Amino acid sequence: MAQVSIVDVKKSYGSIEVLHGIDVEIAHGEFIVIVGPSGCGKSTLLRMVAGLESVTSGEISIGERVVNDVEPKDRDIAMVFQNYALYPHMSVYNNMAYGLKLMKLSKEEINTRVDKAAELLQLEDFLQRRPRELSGGQRQRVAMGRAIVRDPAVFLFDEPLSNLDAKLRNQMRIEIRKLQRDLDVTAIYVTHDQVEAMTMADRIVVLNDGYVEQIGTPSEIYHTPESVFVASFMGAPPMNLVSGNANGKGKFTIEGLGDIDIPKDYSFTGKALFGIRPESVEIFSKQSKGSYPLELELVEELGAGRILHTRLGNETFTVHMPHTDELPTNGLFVKFPENAIHLFDPKSGKRL
């Protein structure tokens, strides 16, 4: 069983600590995505699992074995990089077979493994080509094939799709996820793209400045964010976060607007951030009980929907409407379903 355990792992470069006690338990066959902005430490963490970076403190285990001091080649992992890292002078076949030759496998075993991987990745017709004769998506498949032939316990992906165009990224996301399920292998995937994280992961690890902000399923991360950072980072467009004051009795005061109703479960009193997803609000053309006026500033047409950039009181506010709903022309009013409202502490950034 290829479970991966990361326990209180820290990483420092001299006096600068870049990872601050990371704890993640990854089950066999699970697809974990580590997501966060540039510089948050996600690639450093992946490289520590791979053995390309040393562990300052804490333990990393693959299966039942602690691998802190185990060489990368002996960790039973395979890594797919952002830049493919293919040998330009070698054919596709030799790129995929090279690692197996270093392992001293027989020619028959190498042929069997390469042929099987090529069939899985639809590369049978390209085995004698050089990387320069392939498209970006085909090169990425070769890089994945080189990993697959090793039959590893764990796949590690370091932003493998960031060099591809949008259409190809969508296609490769599906292919990678399907391949991981077919092979029943554990996978750790690093990306800064929250769409990749939401669409591919069994669970997501959200990193921010070397700390774990939240670990959960895509649904948990999106619908119940544990911090302002998660709420604003995960989602396109991101969650609306409006400053105001909660009175602890079901009212939230927004400057320039007045009081709005929030669930009475929120007993917090004082300054807070009111959060709601742009697609969770209800839009009307006439004011009614429980609705509040919006000032429309800009409309973005997206084909499948539209994004309204508005003002709620003195705060900016975004609304995402499906294309089937007509845009009100005589007025714009909004209601906030109680089950979609979130409150956050503006000082700690944590969910209330």
Q: What is the CATH number of the domain that holds 110?
A: 3.40.50.300
User: Does some domain include residue 275?
Assistant: yes
User: Does some domain include residue 351?
Assistant: no
Q: Are residues 252 and 210 in the same domain?
A: no
Which of 225, 246, 275 finishes a domain?
225
Q: Are residues 213 and 248 in the same domain?
A: no
Q: Are residues 288 and 217 in the same domain?
A: no
> Which neighbouring-strand residues pair with 284?
333
Q: What is the pLDDT of residue 263?
A: 87
Q: Are residues 127 and 206 in the same domain?
A: yes
Q: Are residues 221 and 245 in the same domain?
A: no
Q: Three-state SS for 198? A: helix
Q: What is the pLDDT of residue 9?
A: 98
User: Does some domain include residue 230?
Assistant: no
Q: Are residues 21 and 47 in the same domain?
A: yes
- Which residue matches tokens 């990483």? 11
User: Does some domain include residue 153?
Assistant: yes
Q: What is the pLDDT of residue 1?
A: 57
Which of 177, 203, 225 finishes a domain?
225
User: Does some domain include residue 349?
Assistant: no
Q: What is the pLDDT of residue 322?
A: 87
User: Does some domain include residue 83?
Assistant: yes
Q: In Å, how far are 91, 149, 180, 250 from 50, measured between CA atoms?
A: 26, 17, 18, 50
Q: What is the pLDDT of residue 41?
A: 95
Q: Are residues 155 and 130 in the same domain?
A: yes
Total domains in the chain come to 2
Q: Are residues 274 and 192 in the same domain?
A: no
> Which neighbouring-strand residues pair with 240?
276
Residue by residue, pLDDT tens for the chain (352 residues) are: 589 999 999 999 999 999 999 999 999 999 999 999 999 999 999 999 999 999 999 999 999 899 999 999 899 999 998 888 899 999 999 999 999 998 899 999 999 999 999 998 889 999 999 999 999 889 988 998 999 998 899 999 999 888 778 888 888 888 889 889 988 999 999 999 999 999 999 999 999 999 999 999 999 999 999 999 999 999 989 999 999 999 988 889 998 888 988 888 888 899 999 999 999 999 998 888 889 999 999 999 988 889 999 999 999 999 999 887 888 877 899 999 989 999 999 999 999 9
Which of 165, 194, 225 finishes a domain?
225
Q: What is the CATH number of the domain that holds 293?
A: 2.40.50.140
Structural domain of 263: 237-344
How many other CB atoms are there within 10 angstroms of residue 170's CB atom? 15
Q: Are residues 31 and 157 in the same domain?
A: yes
Q: Are residues 199 and 106 in the same domain?
A: yes
User: Does some domain include residue 350?
Assistant: no
Q: Are residues 219 and 244 in the same domain?
A: no
User: Does some domain include residue 331?
Assistant: yes
Q: Are residues 221 and 281 in the same domain?
A: no
Q: Which residues of 171-205 are buried (b: 16+ CB within 10 A; e: fewer)?
A: ebbebbbebbeeeebbbbbbbbbbbbbbebbbbbb
